[in-house]
């Protein structure tokens, strides 16, 4: 740089590039879907000051909150952006209806029964009809109301005898 010349303004990516980068950030608990696929990313703002990303965790007490926040920041910094703001919000709350349709199919292929459309109360004590992600049978039984994460239940398919996880509809 020549003495006396102003430093060129930082070039910021367009919002579509940020969304594309975020679509490569895997859900920390389900690596076959991204945080965009899960509907967690709410807003992307790009301006002369930097990039701001707002996301909603799947549960307010999500133990992976720090991992998600850091992964978002790393993805945006990977675009050459130095000033990155990552905000989480609980309003509106995340629901399973936020999961993109193609992500639901990837969940099924991964062996996790995707949730039924959310209706009524936030979490129903009665499980919704769930089909086995392996054979498609509805001849399943819930073996535990709480799975390895707060958002899942454990099931066994009586048709193919395979255990599987299923999302709770919230």
- What pLDDT is recorded for position 1? 46
Range list for CATH 3.30.300.130 in the chain = 15-88
Give the mean model confidence (pLDDT) for residues 68-94: 96
End-to-end CA distance of the chain, in Å?
55
Structure token digits, residue 127: 């499980």
Q: Answer for the pair 41, 53: CB distance below 8 angstroms, yes or no.
A: yes
- What pLDDT is recorded for position 32? 97
Quote the crossing angle between the two packed helices 65-77 and 15-22, to the nearest 10°. 130
For the domain spanning 15-88, the CATH number is: 3.30.300.130
- What pLDDT is recorded for position 13? 85
- With cut-offs at 50, 70 and 90, classify the pLDDT of residue 140: very high
Which pTM was predicted?
A: 0.80
Residues 115-137 pLDDT 10s: 887 655 555 556 567 899 999 99
Residues 32-45 pLDDT 10s: 999 999 999 999 99
Q: Where are the beta strands (DSSP E) in the chain?
A: 41-47, 50-55, 84-88, 112-113, 140-144, 152-157, 163-167
């Amino acid at each position: 740089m020549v003495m006396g010349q102003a430093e060129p303004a930082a070039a910021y990516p367009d919002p579509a590039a940020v969304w594309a980068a975020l679509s490569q950030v895997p859900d920390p608990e389900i690596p076959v879907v991204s945080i965009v696929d899960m509907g967690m990313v709410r807003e992307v703002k790009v301006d002369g000051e930097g990039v701001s990303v707002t996301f909603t965790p799947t549960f307010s007490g999500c133990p992976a909150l720090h991992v998600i926040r850091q992964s978002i920041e790393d993805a945006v910094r990977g675009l050459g952006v130095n000033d990155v703001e990552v905000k989480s919000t609980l309003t509106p709350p995340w629901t399973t209806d936020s999961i993109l349709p193609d992500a639901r199919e990837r969940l099924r292929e991964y062996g996790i029964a995707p949730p039924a459309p959310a209706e009524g109360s936030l979490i129903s004590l009665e499980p919704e009809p769930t089909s086995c992600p392996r054979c498609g049978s509805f001849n399943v039984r819930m073996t535990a109301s709480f799975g390895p994460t707060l958002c899942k239940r454990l099931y066994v398919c009586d048709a193919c005898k395979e255990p599987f996880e299923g999302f709770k509809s919230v």
